[in-house]
Amino acid sequence: MIGLSVAVGRFVEALFWAILRVAGTAAVAVAFVAGAAVLVLVVARKLWARRRG
C-alpha cells in the first residue's frame, strides 16, 4: 500500500511540473509576442511621424 501511495505522489508531482512547464512556456511566448508588438508599434509611430513632419 505504501508503494502505491509513493507512485501516486510521484505521478501527481510529475503532472504538476508538466503543467507548470507548459504554463511557463506559454507565458514566455505571450510576453515575447507582446514585446514584439510594442516594438513594431513604436517603430511604426516613429516612421509615421517622420513622414508627416
C-alpha cell at 22: 507548459
Q: Does residue 27 carry a pLDDT above 80?
A: yes
DSSP 1-53: -HHHHHHHHHHHHHHHHHHHHHHHHHHHHHHHHHHHHHHHHHHHHHHHHHHH-
Give the integer Cα–Cα distance in Å for 4 and 7.
Answer: 5
Please indicate, yes or no, whether the overall pTM of this predicted structure exceeds 0.95. Answer: no
pLDDT tens readout for residues 1-26: 778 899 999 999 999 999 999 999 99
Instruction: Indicate the residue type of 14.
Output: A
